[in-house]
A and B are shown apart, each in its own frame.
Chain A
Amino acid sequence: MATVDLKSDKPRMIAWAERNQNVAVAVAAIFILLYVAPVLLAAAATIQSDFFMEESAVLVWFAAFMKSSEATLGGVHKVLFPFLVTLSVIAFKDKLNYWVLGLAMFVVLMFMLTVWVGVLLDVDQYRHSLEAQKAAKLDASVARTFFSKMQDTLLMYVALLLGLSATNEKR
């Protein structure tokens, strides 16, 4: 019976990731950081602007990202996730579970951060103080929708990591 060498059909990225697992872990970490960057930006803007009480350069950046969430920046953000998932599966395969669990904890933390910022944007006071700013010009409802989508995605990623951790455990 003839066998098919599946290895040879693997995309280059996967083959490379398998050979350089440590580098893949580092790249995955960078990807996750890039993916959650808007959340970190929003949290930093909230703190820097004293809960939107003053103008903030970080807030302006976050608002700029939100404005183009359906355009270039948003597109890049969406593309990051499939790459991150693929890379994670390979990078964390056979890795010690504390790496995977550590990452899952970090993602859960980011999830909590999106919840926190989302709730803030639901409070009338903060929404008004944010929306009145000329430089930021941020539509709070757009930001809330963005965070809501991001929460779903982050939870999916946590599920994936936990699944991976369970598979590693069996091996």
Chain B
Amino acid sequence: MKSAKPLLLLLLLSSVPFASIGEELILRVKVISEQAVSEVNLQHEEGVSQHALSKDKAAGVFVGSVPTGALNGIAENSKVVNPYRAVVTWSDNENDQIFLAFRYPVPPMLAVSVYRDISSFKEEDIDAVDKLGSDYESTFKKYFRAKAFHKHWRHTLALEDHYLALRSARIWFDAAVALGKRPVFRMDADVTAIMREYEEKAKTDRRFAERYRKYVPKVGYIEVTIDQVRAAEFDFVGKIPGLLKAGKFDEAKTLNIKAKETLQDAPMEIRKAVEKHQGVNLDLLERNLTSIPN
């Protein structure tokens, strides 16, 4: 028994560094395409960190195990949402991306799919994309196929105002919103810019507006939806009043500090959206700091 004590102590000590190793993100990227993949990476939005994924030939997916400590900005007292993207670079140097938004705590496992399997760009093809379901996997299918369809009409044919380009943009936008509303994803900046461009054009071009409004009937719908998705990144601020009611003052205060820091850095439109959708603004957070009991 005497000799067992130092061994137990050694085991306990050795378990300390391994505690952080356990906190890792396993990212699985399933790629569905005839095109060969040259690499798959998890990149920070601002390029400050990059993690390559390796191919699991048996499973036919790209897998990467990233310690959460290695993800930039993922710390308990960090900014709340950390923008990342899973980037699939194809052998023709094109790439496809999934926009991710990690926050503390990072989920242990994330499985995403990238589709590059559309080669015909007629109305029947976008009909088939539109008919896809709204489950997790179908959302990826819709997102990538509608995006590819739109890009073909916009860039290859230079017909960005064609009704099929408008229709595919709307399907792409809806799929991007569906993904963006999920906790680990964020809104696709490309489709946001495209829809805003269409909205602007619809204000000045009556003929275009008639065509565009068949796919986006409500004026202002795009902005409201984008705000909702972006405000969803701040959904944690809505938990503060509940924590206060439950008497969890320390937790409420920590969250309040985080929320205040994040909102201070956020653009005005986001602040307004958070106030509208989460009922929280900077004034309230400021007041909370003095009124939450220690």
Contacts and interface: CB of A to CB of B under 8 A. Distances in A.
Nearest to A128: B157
Contact of B123 (A50, A52, A53, A132): A132
Interface residue range, chain B = 10 to 19
Given A54-B163, A54-B211, A125 B127 contact: no
Contacts of A139: none
B157 A134 contact: no
A141 interface: no
B159 A125 contact: yes
B158 A53 contact: no
Nearest to B211: A54
B159 A129 contact: yes
Contact of A55 (B161, B163, B207): B163
B158 A133 contact: no
A110 to B, nearest CB: 26
Contacts, number: 35
Contact of A134 (B124, B159, B162, B211): B124
B122 A134 contact: yes
Contact of A50 (B121, B122, B124, B207): B207
Nearest to B159: A129
Nearest to A135: B123
Contacts of A132: 121-123, 162, 164
B15 to A, nearest CB: 62
Interface in B139-173: 157-159, 161-164
Contacts of A125: 157-159
A98 to B, nearest CB: 39
Nearest to B122: A132
26 contacts: A50-B211, A52-B162, A53-B159, A53-B161, A53-B162, A53-B211, A54-B162, A54-B163, A54-B211, A55-B163, A124-B157, A125-B159, A128-B157, A128-B159, A129-B157, A129-B159, A129-B162, A131-B122, A132-B122, A132-B123, A132-B162, A132-B164, A133-B123, A133-B164, A134-B123, A134-B124
Q: Which 3 A-B pairs have the closest CB atoms?
A: A134-B123, A54-B163, A132-B122
